[in-house]
């Protein structure tokens, strides 16, 4: 690192010295101390160097949460490589696009995803090595081969503002974009969390959300920086989650619907005490939040943020002002701007814009997109909002160019689903919208016009979509109508469609 730089590996190194034998991570039967964490990261780093990885090379990962995933994040930070985590819920064609875009030199795959990666290896000449996380099928190199060294590596010329992580966001115009984040931005985000939530080495985070997701990675890194314990779940398992809450004194977790409601229901059935939980972070319905706070005495934190802002730029206890998205965070300048670049007064709705150390480095290999999103010296989020007279940010939806649906915490752009639906030979036109959903927070609804004489039922269309893109992007509801109302320009009037069909 440079004289004025400080990165994620330096946090690991500091904690190994100060906390030494304190438990840092729990995963299945593994309990890894801070000293062991640094030693494992050092060995993985040396192993990656020995097989030819260099600063700036990408490390692709298609796997569920694991300790190997954590070691790779640490090694990339130490040597200046760039992590390319891939959403394992995507279908093979979507995975192929992200690999093509990020062009990793080395790729790691969980046992259940190796059949997805195998056909791509010969397609892409840039993949030089491929490793197994968990069990391999014989063609994937076992992960532990990277660790057969003494862990002694030279210092690397890594800077905190170098690209560190490429997270592909939802497809605005048909293709995902790789938001490139730096270590400096992630550490700034950690510091905000540590201050707002008073994180210390006594905290224990139940890491439920996937490590390819900025929310899952952000809470994990924050607790690690504070010296606390992270319990890594491969995926959400209610019985395992309650076991850890009971036995390991869990104090916090991040979530999206229906995780919190499921935990509350199951704990009530088992008569399990949840009073150690003091923090839950996420978005949920008012009834579930109220129930959590009554049962535990803890605090539910509401928020606004994006992958492009290294997670959150506003947050506050939900009970402070129900419905608001919180107060601006300590390391983000947040304003509301009109389409002419003017900052708006309180109670005026416009686009949420952000600047400061949390803002990402730009979209990977998309210079024109970067020029547009960073115009006027601000990061333009594409989301609408307003400030009230008390300084609270209120989220007011998305600009038409960035309309988004969030089923169960995932991002889905209507245009992507519409494009797939229009591939069906019986569909004349369609409009896809988000509707309230008690289980998932928001659900996808497709309003469709059939071609003359065609016959198609809802289930057939839903499965048609699910076969072509990730299943979480398929409509939950389908309505067939005789026509869709148009604007004067002849385009589908989305606001009229929402007004008429905007319920589940």
Mean per-residue pLDDT for 2-31?
A: 96
Q: How far apart are CA 450 and CA 458, in angstroms?
A: 12
Q: Of 404, 435, 428, 407, which Cα lies nearest the Cα of 492?
A: 428
- In this predicted structure, what is the pLDDT of residue 3? 87
Mean pLDDT, the chain, integer: 94
Q: Topology of 407-501 in CATH?
A: GMP Synthetase; Chain A, domain 3 (3.30.300)
pLDDT band for position 153 (50/70/90)? confident
Which residue ranges make up each domain of the chain?
8-19+31-181, 325-402, 407-501
Q: Is 425 exposed, middle or buried (0-12, 13-18, 19+ CB in 10 A)?
A: exposed
**What is the share, in percent, of the chain residues with pLDDT greater than 90?**
84
What pLDDT was estimated at residue 409? 75
Mean pLDDT of 471-491: 90
Give mean pLDDT, residues 491-502.
Answer: 89
The conformation of residue 271, written as its DSSP 8-state character, comes to: T
pLDDT for residue 274 is more than 70? yes
Query: Which residues lie closer than 8 Å to 215 by C-beta, 6 or more apart?
Result: 209, 254, 281, 282, 311, 409
Q: What is the pLDDT of residue 439?
A: 81
Mean pLDDT value across residues 258-277: 96
Tell me the per-residue pLDDT of 347-379, one tens digit each, with 9 for 90 and over. Answer: 999 999 999 999 999 999 999 999 999 999 999
Beta bridge partners of 328: 314
Residues in the chain: 504
Give yes or no for residue 297 having a pLDDT over 70.
Answer: yes
Question: Rounded distance, CA 321 to CA 139, Å?
Answer: 55
Residue 329: pLDDT over 70: yes
- Which helix (DSSP H) or strand (DSSP E) does residue 303 occupy? strand 299-306
The answer to whether residue 174 scores a pLDDT higher than 70 is no
Give the domain 8-19+31-181 fold.
Answer: Rossmann fold (3.40.50)
Q: Examine the pLDDT at 132 and tell me if it is beyond 90.
A: yes
pLDDT: which is higher, 121 or 343? 343
Residue 389 above 90 pLDDT? yes
- Looking at residue 452, its pLDDT comes to 92
pLDDT of 171 reads 64
Q: Is the pLDDT assigned to residue 491 strictly greater than 90?
A: no
In the CATH hierarchy, which top-level class contains the domain 325-402? mainly beta
**What's the pLDDT at 2?**
81
Strand order across the 477-480 sheet:
427-437, 441-450, 477-480
The model's pLDDT over 53-79, given as tens digits with 9 standing for 90+, comes to 999 999 999 999 999 999 999 999 999
Q: With 70 as the cut, is the pLDDT of residue 172 above it?
A: no
Task: Look up residue 140 and give its two tokens.
Answer: 């994937």
CA distance linking residue 255 with residue 14, whole number of Å: 29
Residue 184 to residue 337: CA distance in whole angstroms? 26
pLDDT value of position 406: 83
**Higher pLDDT residue, 402 or 98?**
98
Tell me which of 104-108, 238-242, 330-334, 497-501 is least confident: 497-501
326 conformational bin, left if phi > 0, alpha if psi -120 to 50, beta if neither = left
Separation between Cα atoms, residue 294 and residue 358, nearest integer Å: 34
- Give the global pTM: 0.86
Query: What is the arithmetic mean of pLDDT over 297-307?
Result: 96
**What pLDDT shows up at residue 488?**
81
CA distance 161 to 147: 28
Give the span between the Cα atoms of 38 and 11, in whole angstroms.
10
Q: With 0-12 CB in 10 A as exposed, 13-18 as middle and 19+ as buried, what is 483? A: exposed
Q: Give pLDDT, residue 402.
A: 67
* Domains 8-19+31-181 and 325-402 equal at CATH topology level: no
Question: Above 80 in pLDDT, residue 187?
Answer: yes
246: pLDDT strictly greater than 90:
yes
Phi and psi at residue 167, to the nearest 5°: -110, 120
Mean pLDDT of 231-252: 97
Instruction: Give the pLDDT confidence score for residue 399 in this predicted structure.
Output: 79
What does the CA dihedral 334, 336, 339, 341 come to, rounded to 10 degrees?
A: -60
What is the per-residue pLDDT for 401?
A: 64
């Amino acid at each position: 690192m440079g004289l004025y730089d400080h990165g994620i590996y330096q946090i690991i190194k500091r904690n190994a010295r100060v906390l030494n034998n304190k438990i840092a991570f729990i995963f299945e039967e593994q309990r890894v101390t801070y000293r062991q964490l640094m030693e494992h990261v050092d060995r993985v780093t040396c192993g990656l160097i020995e097989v030819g990885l260099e600063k700036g090379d990408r490390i692709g990962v298609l796997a569920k949460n694991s300790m190997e995933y954590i070691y790779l994040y640490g090694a990339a930070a130490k040597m200046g490589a760039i992590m390319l985590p891939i959403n394992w819920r995507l279908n093979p064609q979507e995975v192929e696009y992200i690999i093509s875009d990020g062009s990793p030199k080395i790729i790691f795959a969980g046992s259940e995803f190796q059949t997805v990666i195998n056909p791509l290896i010969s397609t892409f000449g840039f993949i030089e090595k491929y490793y197994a996380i968990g069990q391999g099928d014989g063609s994937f190199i076992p992960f532990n081969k990277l660790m057969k060294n003494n862990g002694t590596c030279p210092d690397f010329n890594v800077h905190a503002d170098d690209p560190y992580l490429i997270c592909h966001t939802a497809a605005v115009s048909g293709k995902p974009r790789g938001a490139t984040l730096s270590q400096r931005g992630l550490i700034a985000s950690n510091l905000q969390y540590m201050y707002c939530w008073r994180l210390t080495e006594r905290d224990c985070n139940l890491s439920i959300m996937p490590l390819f997701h900025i929310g899952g990675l952000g809470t994990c890194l924050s607790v690690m920086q504070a010296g606390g314990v992270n319990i890594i779940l491969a995926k959400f398992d209610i019985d395992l989650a309650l076991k850890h809450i009971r036995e390991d004194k869990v104090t916090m977790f991040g979530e999206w619907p229906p995780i919190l409601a499921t935990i509350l229901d199951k704990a009530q059935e088992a008569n399990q005490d949840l009073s150690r939980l003091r923090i839950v972070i996420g978005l949920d319905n008012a009834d579930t939040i109220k129930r959590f706070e009554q049962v535990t005495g803890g605090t539910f934190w509401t928020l606004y943020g994006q992958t492009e802002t290294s997670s959150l730029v506003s947050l506050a206890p939900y009970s402070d002002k129900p419905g608001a998205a919180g107060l601006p965070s300590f390391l983000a300048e947040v304003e509301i701007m009109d389409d002419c670049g003017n900052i708006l007064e309180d109670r005026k709705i416009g686009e949420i814009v952000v600047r400061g150390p949390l803002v990402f480095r730009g979209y990977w290999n998309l210079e024109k997109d970067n020029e547009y999103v960073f115009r006027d010296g601000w990061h333009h989020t594409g989301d609408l909002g307003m400030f009230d007279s008390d300084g609270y940010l209120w989220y007011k939806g998305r600009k038409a160019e960035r309309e988004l649906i969030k089923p169960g915490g995932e991002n889905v752009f209507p245009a992507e689903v519409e494009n797939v639906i229009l591939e069906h030979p019986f569909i004349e036109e369609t409009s896809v919208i988000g509707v309230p959903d008690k289980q998932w927070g928001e659900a996808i609804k497709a309003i469709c016009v059939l071609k003359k004489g065609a016959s198609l039922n809802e289930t057939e269309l839903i499965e048609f979509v699910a076969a072509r893109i990730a299943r979480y992007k398929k409509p939950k509801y389908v309505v067939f109508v005789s026509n869709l109302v148009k604007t004067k320009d002849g385009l589908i009037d989305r606001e009229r469609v929402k007004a008429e069909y905007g319920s589940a």
